[in-house]
Amino acid sequence: MNGLRGWFRSNAWALLAVVVLGTGAVLYSFAFDWQDYQDGNPTQPVDVARGEVGELGAGTFELTDLIVLEGGSADGRRYEVDEGTDVVVADVRITPDPEGVADAYETCDIYFHAPSPDGEREWWASSSNPTTYPEPEVSAYGCNIGSGPAYELRLYFTVPAGGAEDGWVLVSSPAELPRALRLH
C-alpha cells in the first residue's frame, strides 16, 4: 500500500496537470459544439399573445384558434378522438413576404409545446387529420413565408391526455434561428 501511495505522491503534480489540462481540453472542444447547437435551435422564442401578430423573417404569424379535443369528453367522442389522447387543433394565419419573388419558398417549422413533469415536451403536427373534426374550406399544406397571398394553416397535434394544458405553438424558420415565435 505504501508503494502505491508513494507513487501518487511522487507524481501528484503530473496527475493534477493531466486532470486540469484534460478537463480544459474537453470543455474547450464542447464550447464550439454548444454554441452551434444554440444557434441551430429555437432557443430565443418571442412570446406572441392570441390576437397579436408576430414577425419572423419576412413573414408574419398569428394564432387565430387553438382547440383541444379531449379523448374522453363529449367533443372527443363526437370527433372520434382516441381514448387516452387529446388532439390539439391549431389554426395559424401566415402572411408571406409581400415583396417576395414569385414562387419563392422559405420554409418554416411549426410544433406544439407544453410543460410536463419531465420538462417541456414537443410534438410535430400529424401528416393528416387524426379525427373527424371538419377541415377548413380552403386547406393549405405546409408553411411557406417566401411569397404568395396570406393563408390559414390548420395543424393537428396528437398528445397524451392532459398533455395540452398550458401549451403553445412554436414557429421557427431555419434562416431566423435561434429566434422563434411562441404563439399562445
What is the mean pLDDT of the segment spanning 123-142? 89
138 pLDDT band, cuts 50/70/90, is confident
How many domains does one find in the chain? Answer: 2
Q: 94 with 147, same domain? A: yes
Q: 54 with 34, same domain? A: no
| pLDDT for position 55 | 96
pLDDT digits (tens, 9 = 90+) for 93-107: 999 988 878 778 888
Q: 124 with 34, same domain? A: no
- Decide: helix, strand or coil at residue 46: strand
Neighbours of 2 (CB within 10 A): 6
- From the list 91, 184, 167, the residue with the least C-alpha distance to 122 is 167
- Decide: helix, strand or coil at residue 142: coil
Q: 24 with 68, same domain? A: no
The region of weakest confidence among 55-64, 80-89, 98-107, 129-138 is: 98-107
What is the mean pLDDT of the segment spanning 128-141? 87
Q: 18 with 86, same domain? A: no
Residue position matching grid coordinates 387543433:
89
Alpha-helix runs per DSSP H in 40-177: 74-78
Q: 86 with 126, same domain? A: yes
pLDDT at residue 141 greater than cutoff 90: no
- Residue bearing the bigger pLDDT, 52 or 23: 52
What is the mean pLDDT of the segment spanning 36-45? 74
The Cα 146–Cα 48 span in angstroms is 21
Provide the CATH number for the domain around residue 101.
Answer: 2.60.40
What is the mean pLDDT of the segment spanning 126-137? 92
Which pTM value belongs to this model?
0.79
Q: 53 with 132, same domain? A: yes
What's the grid cell of residue 54? 408576430
| pLDDT for position 102 | 77
| pLDDT for position 132 | 96
Q: 7 with 52, same domain? A: no
Domain extent for 173? 46-183
What is the mean pLDDT of the segment spanning 163-174? 94
Q: What backbone torsions phi and psi does residue 7 show, to the nearest 5 degrees? A: -65, -45
pLDDT at residue 175 greater than cutoff 80: yes
Task: Give, as one character, the DSSP assignment of residue 177.
Answer: T
pLDDT digits (tens, 9 = 90+) for 151-160: 999 999 999 9
Q: 13 with 68, same domain? A: no
